[in-house]
Structure formats: structure tokens, C-alpha cells
Structure 1
């Protein structure tokens, strides 16, 4: 009876573990196989072409545009979200009135999906429907904000929408970290004559380093997968000016009928995610023995 009780949790967990392993790692392997075939509309396992799809991928100007946009979006999205999140967290950490209400307001956008966020900001930034039209109706006829329809500025509209949604998430992480710091540290620094900005810069931020690193990791991961936000806001346009690797993969696989090429781009996206996650896991595993 006791042995059955010991094995029961494993029996309960086993089906979910097996299915998760099959659907996650099994499809990763399947995608890798497709990327070395000449698959087009349907998978074609009889024509293996080696690394030809990867060579085609890195010869395409559209792929480089997607990588450039991903770089712009990731740097601005992660950087501005963290900066705003930190400022908001410090503001709320001052024990202000209506803190609960303000915290809910800041966090509310994170409850929305990227599809809803993209659609809402598409209306707001559309020159004929949103902010520009409102300013014109109010009498400010010279006001112009047509970033959404300009190929060189449309990517920044995606940044604006992404930051609006994720700054509250970064704020929640930083606020939790700030609330975990002993107030006596701050009081001792103030007694020594340190100003509040110096306390945050020289004492608080170093203590929050694990929170900062975790926030960068999560937001970077979200930026690489920002498919739904781009599709809802710009659909990769004008032209393919706001393409990112995720939309590139979708277009090649399901619109252009180039499954092999789309699988190659998906493999490269997997490599990008691994480049972020693996160093973090490695550092965590290395730190565990020292902690013990």
C-alpha cells in the first residue's frame, strides 16, 4: 500500500509529462527535419536538400529586414518597459494614497492579449481614425502623426503598443523586489547622508539585480514571439517594413507555400530563444552548488 502511494504521484504526472515532451520537443525535431527538405505546400520527406533552405534564408533581403526590426523592437521594448516599470515601482513604493487603484490601472494592460492591444493601437494611431483626426477635429489642423503608414517609422508604433502593455508587468516585478528590501538599509544610508537617488543607484539597484535579469529574460522572450501584436497592428506592412522573424515564418509557410524555408526561419527563432534561456539556466545551475 505504501509503495502504491509513492508511485501514484508519478502515475498522475506521467501522461502530462509524456504529452508535453512529445508536443514540444517532438515538433521541434519535426520542424528541424522540414527545414532540410524541399517542402512547399505540403511536407516532402523524399527531397532532402541539406542546408539549402538556410542558405536561401540568409540570402533574402526580407529576412534581414525582419532581423533588423526584431533588434529595434527588442532593444526599445525591453529598455523602455523596464525604465517605465522601475519609475512606476519607485513611485508606488513611496506608500502613496490609492496605491491599490493605481497598481491595478498600470497592470490592467497586461491582462489583455496582444491581439486586443494591437487592434486598439491600430485605431488610435490610424491617421484617418485616431489621434491625428482627433487633433484636427479639435482645431489643430497642423498636427500630424502618420507613423503607422510610413515604412521607416511603423516599427516604432509596434514599440509604443508593446511598451504600453508590458510596462505594468515590469513595474509589478520591480515593486515586489523593492518591497522585499529591508527598510533599515535605506534608513542607514540616509543617516550616512546619502541622497535618495544615490541610494537607489548604488544600493537598491544592485540588490534588485536578479529581478532585473529575470525581467530582461521574460521581456526578451516575449519580443521574439511578438507575432500577434505585429499582425494585429500592421500585418507586417507597409509592404514588409515591419516584418519580424515570426511574421516572416508565417508568411513563407502559409502564404507563399514555402514550408521548408519557413521551418528554417523557425529554427533560427528557436536558436535566438535558446541564446537567451540557456545562459540564464547555466548561471542558475552554477550558482546552486555555491549556495549550498
Structure 2
């Protein structure tokens, strides 16, 4: 009986051990290996000659890297802001118990079911002057219409923002809608009895109560923005020039195209630090709130 009880206690650990081992090796092990490569003089192939923080110094001296960081700042700020505002607006509209809510919600959520590769390819066709919106307008007789953002180095990054917002805003809407449905109706009824209008109720009661949802949405969107790669590759390829280059595409370029594995690994570690700087405070606040 004792051996049987021991086996029952240990069975979950035995079952989970292989998957845990795989995660340790292929996630955390490769993260550690990337960190090691970032302090070596690795070029086309890995090298074990340690050069310290030399790669990081070279990385921050590259105009190409600074351009990727500047593009990330533009993309992430607009992406997070627009998705949050649009998602909150859609959630508030659906929260009014409108007809067809069950039909509209899947429509808003559908883009999130697609991969960023599919989204990038579709929006590349839509925005291409030769086959997309501009060509369609010309066929309809509007010969003076021009929409060449995807070919313009100053406007191409906004095409990436447009495609990313289209894909993610529905998911953020679902998060906000869940938050709205979780607000205590008694508080709303009490405010209505006191004469508060709908706008005041949302501004003073509902939205302040949704701070955890706003924080969760920010963490999700910031994480997606920092590691954005497939959308860029499918939509613009990082161009024209380096107009839409982001740290993820920079890392791939320097590691596999320019054969600068050490610099590419150091850029990957910088991206990891960016994500940690967002995830760790969020997890800390969640754990601290759970204890309270």
C-alpha cells in the first residue's frame, strides 16, 4: 500500500518530467547558449574565443541598430496606443447589448486566428500600388488617387502599424469586454441612482476598475511588438532600405546574412532584456496582488 501511495504521489512528476526537461534544454538552454555566443567572436560559425562585451559595444555603435530601435519605438508606441483605444471602443460598443453581438465578436476576433505571415502577405497585396487600393481606385476612374506608403521610406513603418493593429485589436477588444462584463452592476446602478450619466460612469467607475486589464493588454502588445519578425518579413522585408527594420529582423540579418553571429546574439539578448523589463514587473505585481 505504501509503495502504491508513493507511486501515485510521484506519477504526476514522472509524467511531466520529459516535457520539463525538453523546456529546460530547448528554451532556457538555448537562451544561455545565445548569451554565451554574445560574448564570443563568433562569425559564420560559433566560436569559443571570449571577447567580453565587445559585441555589445559594436552593436550600439551601428547606425543600423539605432534605426531598428527608432523604428521599434514608433511601431510599439502607435501599435499599443491604437490597439488599446480601438479595442476599448469596440468593447464598450459591444457592452451596450446591441443586436448581433454574437455575430460581430467572431468578426473582430477572426484576424487574430491568422498568422502574422498571412496578415503581412494579405496587407502587402492590399497596399501594393500595382494591385491593391491604388490600382482599384484607378480602375474605378479615380486616376489621381495615390497611396504609395509601402514604397515610401518615411511612411512604410505606418503600413506595418496598420496591419498589426488590424490583427490584434480584436483580441484586445475581447480582453476589455471580459473586463467590462466583470464590473459589479451594483456599483453602476448606485451611480445611476445618484444621477451619473453614462460617460461619467465609464470615466469615473468602470475604466478605473479595469486597470489590471489595461496592464495585461500593455504587456501582451509590448511583447508582440518587441519580437515582431514574421509580419515585417512578409509585408515589407524590412524595406524600403531599412525603413521598417526592427530588432528581430536586425538580429536575423546579422546572424544569418552578414555572418556576424556574435553581434546577432548580442541583439537577441538585448531584446530578451526588453521583454524581461516588461514581464518581470508585471509578474511581480500579479504575485503581490495575489498575496494581498
Range into which the TM-score falls when normalised by the shorter chain: over 0.9
1:99 paired residue number: 101
Secondary structure (helix, strand or coil) at the match of 1:73 reads helix
TM-score (norm 1): 0.97
1:138 paired residue number: 140
Equivalent residue in structure 2 for 1:208, among 199, 206, 210:
210
Asked if residue 10 in structure 1 is aligned to residue 19 in structure 2, the reply is no
Q: What is the CA–CA distance in structure 1 between the aligned matches of 2:87 and 2:121, rounded to whole Å?
A: 23
**Shift of the alpha carbon at 1:140?**
1.3
1:265 paired residue number: 267
2:68 paired residue number: 66
The Cα offsets for residues 122-171 of structure 1, whole Å up to 9 and x where unpaired, read as 00011111011111111112211111001111000000000000000000
Equivalent residue in structure 1 for 2:284, among 279, 282, 285:
282
The Cα offsets for residues 217-240 of structure 1, whole Å up to 9 and x where unpaired, read as 011101111100000000000011
Asked if residue 48 in structure 1 is aligned to residue 83 in structure 2, the reply is no
**Shift of the alpha carbon at 1:288?**
2.9
Give 1:130-169 correspondences, 5 Å limit.
130-169=132-171
Asked if residue 127 in structure 1 is aligned to residue 134 in structure 2, the reply is no
Q: What is the CA–CA distance in structure 1 between the aligned matches of 2:159 and 2:7, rounded to whole Å?
A: 58
1:29 paired residue number: 32
Q: What is the CA–CA distance in structure 2 between the aligned matches of 1:141 and 1:185, rounded to whole Å?
A: 56
Unaligned runs of 5+ in 1: none
Secondary structure (helix, strand or coil) at the match of 2:117 reads helix
Secondary structure (helix, strand or coil) at the match of 2:51 reads coil
The Cα offsets for residues 191-219 of structure 1, whole Å up to 9 and x where unpaired, read as 21111111111100111111110011011
Unaligned runs of 5+ in 2: none
1:195 paired residue number: 197
Secondary structure (helix, strand or coil) at the match of 1:285 reads helix
Q: What is the CA–CA distance in structure 2 between the aligned matches of 1:205 and 1:193, rounded to whole Å?
A: 18
TM-score (norm 2): 0.97
1:115 paired residue number: 117
Give 1:226-265 correspondences, 5 Å limit.
226-265=228-267
Asked if residue 19 in structure 1 is aligned to residue 28 in structure 2, the reply is no
211-220 or 135-144, larger mean C-alpha shift: 135-144
RMSD: 0.9
Q: What is the CA–CA distance in structure 2 between the aligned matches of 1:97 and 1:9, rounded to whole Å?
A: 47
Q: What is the CA–CA distance in structure 2 between the aligned matches of 1:246 and 1:231, rounded to whole Å?
A: 10
Query: Alignment length, in residue pairs?
Result: 289
**Shift of the alpha carbon at 1:48?**
1.6
Q: What is the CA–CA distance in structure 2 between the aligned matches of 1:42 and 1:180, rounded to whole Å?
A: 53
**Shift of the alpha carbon at 1:287?**
2.5
